[in-house]
A and B are shown apart, each in its own frame.
Chain A
Amino acid sequence: EVQLVQSGTEVKKPGESLKISCTGSGYTFSSYWIGWVRQVPGKGLEWMASIFPADSRIKYSPSFEGRVTISVDKSISTAYLHWISLEASDNAMYFCARFAVIGYFMDVWDKGTTVIVSS
């Protein structure tokens, strides 16, 4: 079974750093782009960034480039999203999703990681 499993809820203070993870299984992890989608409470979906594990090619949405860093460790089939300094505006649910091999749409999703940033 193709599956993505994300790390759990995080509660952080403004200015702190954070790295959340997403581990894939049941498929050839290196062969599919994998990415992150943000959903602010009560709002819609925003694609943030994607990475191709085989060669670490990266794509960022201009809205998020410079604010977050996407990375991957293909030896453990895990992708990461990293913040150096969190802000209150980073309060959101973050979904990890696999991109289909035939196009940049997302065919497998995990349940999401809640990030709470509060002083």
Chain B
Amino acid sequence: IVLTQSPDTLSLSPGESASLSCRARQSTGRSVGLSRPFVAWYQQKPGQAPRLLIFGTSTRATGISDRFSGSGSGTDFTLTISRVEPEDLAVYYCQQYDTSPYTFGPGTKLEIK
């Protein structure tokens, strides 16, 4: 399963909301969705390891702010960050764990103006 993410880069001012998209398709090109809502989102700040934000499409990991929320099904999944803060500067990756190999999207870089 190949994941694509958009946009590549998102530049927002503090207080704005961010909507990050993740789309799934088979490596053959067929737009066949995930049979189960097994999508996770990770945040990777500069020079750090990734951190789990969301699993099961919409469940926040322990300790994650409620400003982060996930939604979606089938082929289209979204990470929403409300009231963006300077500390949200990072690359955000989606990952599907419906089918092995467990693949990541290429990431969306969030810049803060």
Q: Which residues of A contact B48 (CB under 8 A)?
A: 111
Task: Name the interface size band of chain B.
Answer: 20 to 34
B101 and A47 form a contact (CB under 8 A): yes
Determine whether A100 belongs to the interface, using a CB cutoff of 8 Å to chain B: yes
Q: Which residues of chain B from 61 to 96 have a CB within 8 Å of any chain A CB?
A: 61, 93, 95
Task: Name the interface size band of chain A.
Answer: 20 to 34
Stretch at the interface among A13-21, A24-32, A84-92, A101-109: A101-109
Q: Which of A59, A104, A107 is in CB contact (< 8 Å) with B61?
A: A107
Q: Which residues of B contact A110 (CB under 8 A)?
A: 49
Task: Given A46-B104, A104-B100, A105-B95, check contact A112 B49 (CB 8 Å).
Answer: yes
Q: Which residues of A contact B42 (CB under 8 A)?
A: 45, 106
Mask, B40-59, CB within 8 Å of A = 1, is 10101000111110011000
B56 and A103 form a contact (CB under 8 A): yes
Mask, A58-93, CB within 8 Å of B = 1, is 010111000000000000000000000000000000
Minimum CB–CB distance for A2 against chain B, Å = 10
B residues lining the A interface (CB < 8 Å):
38, 40, 42, 44, 48-52, 55-56, 61, 93, 95, 97, 100-107
* A/B interface sample: 5 pairs, CB < 8 A: A47-B102, A61-B100, A61-B101, A102-B55, A104-B38
7 tightest CB-CB pairs across the interface, nearest first? A105-B40, A104-B97, A61-B101, A109-B49, A45-B104, A47-B102, A105-B55
